[in-house]
Structure 1
Amino acid sequence: MNKQRASLSIFFFLAGVNFASWASRIPTIAGALKLNEAELGSILLTMPVSSLIGLPLSGWLVTRFDSRSPLTAAFLLNAVALSLIGLADTSLLLIMALFLFSLSMRIFNIAVNTQAITLQKQFARKINGSFHGLWSLGGIVGVGFTTLLVSLDISIVPHLLSVAIFSVLTTLATSRHLLRNDRSTSGNKFSLGKPDPAIVLLGLLVFFAVVCEGGMFDWSGIYFQQVIKEDVFTSGYLIFMSFMALSRFISDRIIERFGMANTYIFSAILIFCGILLAILFPSFWPAMVGFSFVGFGTAAVIPMTYTLAGSSQKYSPGVALSIIVTYGVIGMLIGPPLIGYLAHAFNLKIAFILFAFAGMMLIPISQRFFKLES
């Protein structure tokens, strides 16, 4: 059991490294291809569209096979796509690479979280938050490595290629230790009848969480580059990811101490205050503090909601995750591109108000869910 947990932890960590390696290089890519905010927002649409296409496939794979198989194959494909992002020298090639990157990432995410929920049931204490904490820790390592390479003026090609090669080698060495025989025997079919109200509410929580979290991944570097005027534009992303990781490593204890309902409220308030601070005082230290609040606030929402979905009485964990992740994909489809369009029409500070609104929406939706479940 501990061997499986260690192997799964490595994959969560590596996924964070890979995603942060791409996301922290967005300003580099935008500059190289001479993209304005609206053009960048349009290209970013590739990822949620691809992810949406991958959802039914990922849901089918984790019910047809042990989740270990799609997890391994998807992560190997993700590493290949990451290297192709670095090699893309036109908008079309970038779109193609991002499509493959997002498709593989969606299949991987469903499979790895299915494994996490299955493994959680074998432990008396909560461990799911620690897995997502490792994803954030991987993100810190990824953006830290990017920061070092940017300061040394090392180009994106050797950067992303080296990360991809390391991911492939580690996957080949680690995947054989993952959980086996975890296919569900019931709850694998999705009904088109009346939607389950609890799953709908959990989906909405994921939607607004992804608007905040995904938007910060895509736009924090641009905010520090254009609004804060920092040459080392990864500073905001780094502090955001650092406090996200810190929060996720202690979120299980916070939840046990205060309960999930109060943790959702606490998360929403932190997101709202952090965004407001960065908007009203657009200089280095206030923005750093604000982004740290947002990172701490967003961190617990996704693992909490995934855990609740895994306890669904109607669907298997894999199908329940596929349904609520659909809401997250819609959040990706709307959130980050909308920030680009708002920034192009007005400015980036005004566009960031969307994150504050999305954060506060966590309160009424979570309260409604726990009232329904009581």
Structure 2
Amino acid sequence: MNKSMGINVGNLRNKRIAIGACYFVPGVVFASWASRIPDVKELLHLSNGQLGSVLFAIPIGQLLMMAFSGILVSRFGSKKMLMLSEFLYAASLFAIGLCDNVLHLIMALVALGMMANLMNIATNTQACYLEKLYGRNIMSSFHGMWSLGGFAGGIIGALFAGTLLPVSVHFTSVLVASVIIVALCFRNLVSESLAEAEDEDVPKFSFRSVDPTLILLGVMGFGGMFCEGTVYDWSSVYFLTVVKPDAAFIRAGYIAGMGAMTLGRFLADGFVTKYGPSRVLKVCGLLILGGLLLAASLPYLITATLGFLLVGFGISSSVPICYSVAGKLGTMKASIAITIVSSISFFGFLVGPPVIGWLSELSNLRIALSLAACFGLFIAFVAGKVGKRIR
């Protein structure tokens, strides 16, 4: 029986808006930090090498929290943990604005990473519960809201950077706005009683009973996030050093990839509902494969930009679909299933950029991107295996 029968359409819509806002806010927070990195670097007189070392504090924080996020969400509920993590995530940004030495900055960034991991599990668990209530796929559109938040945060950061106001004023403004938005959303999040009803028939977690499908979803997520990190960190470098267009077009590949990723996330749910997650994941993998090979084999402005556009569409939905399928498998609680998949996936994002750097040192960046394209083929192949299991 569909448990959403007792909830009217208006309430479902309100819950979708509330959860969407809870994806949008961290997108703004993260982009606010990213847009002001040069200012923080200058304020603390950091060299490029020192900044690179400091930036490792965020993934370290995520790794520290990884073992506890699923347990906390399962124990205290995704609604409470979402509120707590979103507030502390924005508060960590505020703390960054107050840092006057490297040690304090590292501590604030570790906290930012820890809250990012907890928030990732809580928000995706909320989205998964609402998907079940809706009875159709809506996960990718939520990730699209994070991307929109990233665009908005980048614009806000640029506006603040153009003023004489200190970074702390910018980050304080983001904190205040985030707290207000999340507080307004709280009452419309999926309640713990509804969440418990969705998990009432789910067996207790045991490492011995981990569904192998979750591992397959995790490795697909790994491949998707490996390529996503590659676009974030290397697309502009590729244009600068290999494509060598006019200065105005150095970021063309990055903009094309990010724009396609955002649009793809809003379009993907309809395709998943119509064709199923396995087929869409296959297409995502082939788009990644074709896009990276096109950019690497034809390093010209139009073809390379088109290549990263295709990659953006490919990476847009691969990870959200994996989270969605994991949360609805029913072999364990949604929060634990999503934690397993996201933990495996995260390592792709962590190791992807440095591996591309090492490969480019051993050969060149074109060959490195061509090798990264193999993850697209891998995703398309594994998607077929997952499709047989979930059917």
- Which residue type is aligned with residue 62 of structure 1? V
Q: Tell whether 2:327 aligns with 1:310.
A: yes
Q: Which residue of 2 aligns with 1:357?
A: 374
- Give the deviation of 1:244 after TM superposition: 1.1
Q: Distance in 1 between matches of 2:289 and 2:209?
A: 34
Q: Which has the higher contact order (CA 8 A, sep 6+)?
A: 1
Q: Please give the alpha-carbon distance, in whole angstroms, between the structure 2 residues aligned to 1:129 and 1:212.
A: 18
- Find out whether 1:142 has 2:153 as its counterpart: yes
Q: Does 1:125 align with 2:136?
A: yes
Asked if structure 1 preserves the Cα contact closer than 8 Å seen for 2:78 and 2:122, the reply is: yes
Query: Do the aligned partners of 1:41 and 1:340 also contact (CA within 8 Å) in 2?
Result: no
Instruction: Go from structure 1 to structure 2 and tell me whether the alpha carbon gap of 1:279 and 1:21 turns closer, same or farther (over 3 Å shift).
Output: farther
Match of 2:262 in 1: 245
Q: Is the 8 A contact 2:228 2:315 kept in 1?
A: yes
Of residues 111, 122, 127, the one that matches 1:111 is 122
Which of 324, 330, 333 pairs up with 2:341? 324
Secondary structure, in 3 states, of the residue corresponding to 1:190? coil
Q: TM-score, normalised by structure 2?
A: 0.82
Compute the TM-score of the two structures, normalised by the length of structure 1.
0.85
Structure of higher CA gyration radius: 2
Distance 2:40 2:202 in 1: 43
- Aligned ranges 1:80-99 → 2 under 5 Å: 80-86=91-97, 92-99=103-110
| Pair 1:216 & 2:227 matched | no
Q: Which residue of 2 aligns with 1:167?
A: 178
Task: State the 1:319 CA deviation.
Answer: 1.0
Judge conservation of contact 2:93–2:108 (CA < 8 Å) in 1: yes
CA contact (8 A) 1:33 1:90 kept: no
- The 10-residue stretch of structure 1 (131-140 or 186-195) with the greater mean CA deviation from structure 2: 186-195
Letter of the 2:216 partner, please give it.
L
Q: Percent identity among equivalent residues? A: 36
CA distance in 1, matches of 2:100, 2:201: 47
Q: Is the 8 A contact 1:265 1:363 kept in 2?
A: yes
1:160 Cα shift?
4.3
Question: 1:339 — aligned with what?
Answer: 356
**Is 1:139–1:241's contact at 8 Å kept on the other side of the alignment?**
no
Deviation at 1:166, TM superposition (A): 2.2
Stretch moving more, 187-196 or 320-329: 187-196
Greater share of residues in helix: 2
2:275 pairs with 245, 258, 262, which one? 258
User: Is the partner of 1:122 in helix, strand or coil?
Assistant: helix
Partner Cα distance (2:72, 2:108) in 1:
22
Contact 1:59 1:318 in 2 (8 A): yes
Mind listing any 5+ residue stretches in structure 1 that lack a counterpart?
A: none
Q: Quote the residue 1:78 is aligned against.
A: 89
For 1:142 and 1:226, locate their aligned partners in 2 and report how far apart those are by CA, in whole Å: 28
The alignment's C-alpha RMSD in Å is: 3.2
Structure 2: tracts of 5 or more residues without a match: 1-11
- Partners of 2:177 and 2:239 lie apart in 1 by 29
Instruction: State the one-letter code of the partner of 1:314.
Output: T
